[in-house]
Amino acid sequence: MKDNKTVLAVMAHPDDVEFLCGGTLALLAKKGYRIHMAHVAAGDCGTLEYDTDDISRIRFEEARRAAAVIGATHHCCGARDGLVMYDKPTLRAVIELVRRVNPFMVFTHSPVCYMVDHEVTSQLARMAAFIAGAPNLHTLITPPAKPTGDVPYLYYADAIDMKDHFGKPILASLYVDITPVIKTKERMVKCHASQRNWLKSHHKMDEYVLTMRRWGTANGQRCGVKFAEGFRQHLGHSYPQDNKLGELLGAISA
């Protein structure tokens, strides 16, 4: 697919994008790429103190501020935490998102992860990337965006804790050195104060940031750098077969 300088990361909840591929997006932004960061669900269950509407507003604003750190555009598809479904309304919303953004590269969750919301989002993003160019697929959203062109590059970020449902490792096949932008990634993660503050209170330490750094260090050790993010490229029929992420950022093959 032609590089139109537009990249979309679509994941389940506010903060998932920042944790899993925030550094890579920061590097692409520094190269002049237009970055779009989206979450399918509102983040309405990520609290013990706010009601649904209040926490949704709080987390929407936190995600918007995190995107602004790298000059990205923020989107929310409006589903609810724990209720991300592979159904017609949700799929249409994600297809409409892909059409409006028209990315040449998409990032999403690992197809296997600890949480079903993540796995369903991965399926939604995969299907939307594939079908967004089909003019006979109507999203029923007014006014509708135009169908896209070619199928974009699709990359899966690491599974949470880099393991499957049975504890077996799920390791990346590509690693991006994010050492130069680790501070930027940390700023993005810290924007999600509603989550960070709860964990600080519960664990008596800044576990939110420490976890992000641990994952980055573990990936870095696998490819010989200080901090890295891991990915696998979708190489199924009709998807681009060349490794554009490697070309752009020098991603290291495992």
**What's the pLDDT band for 61 if we cut at 50, 70, 90?**
very high
Report H helices in the chain: 16-30, 52-69, 88-101, 116-131, 182-190, 193-203, 207-223, 244-249
**What's the pLDDT band for 206 if we cut at 50, 70, 90?**
low
Q: How far apart are CA 228 and CA 174, in angstroms?
A: 10
In terms of pLDDT, which residue wins out, 252 or 241?
A: 241
Helix-, strand-, coil-residue percentages of the chain, each rounded to 5 = 45, 15, 40
Q: How far apart are CA 135 and CA 149, in angstroms?
A: 10
Q: How many Å from the N-terminal Cα to the C-terminal Cα in the chain?
A: 24
Q: Dig out the tokens for 180 from the structure.
A: 């130069």
What residues does each domain of the chain span? 6-253
Quickly name the fold that domain 6-253 has.
Rossmann fold (3.40.50)
Give pLDDT, residue 46.
Answer: 82
DSSP-derived pairing of the beta strands 252-253 and 105-108: unpaired
Residues 6+ apart with CB under 8 A from 57: none
> What pTM was computed for the model?
0.96
Q: How far apart are CA 106 and CA 98, in angstroms?
A: 9
Cβ 226 vs Cβ 213: under 8 Å: no
122-167 residue pLDDT tens:
999 999 999 999 999 999 999 999 999 999 999 999 999 999 999 9
Cβ 25 vs Cβ 51: under 8 Å: no
Residues 6+ apart with CB under 8 A from 100: 145
Q: How far apart are CA 196 and CA 120, in angstroms?
A: 25
Q: How far apart are CA 63 and CA 15, in angstroms?
A: 7
62-112 residue pLDDT tens:
999 999 999 999 999 999 999 999 999 999 999 999 999 999 999 999 999
The dihedral built from the CA positions of residue 243, 245, 248 and 250, taken in this order, carries a sign that is: negative
Q: How far apart are CA 76 and CA 37, in angstroms?
A: 9
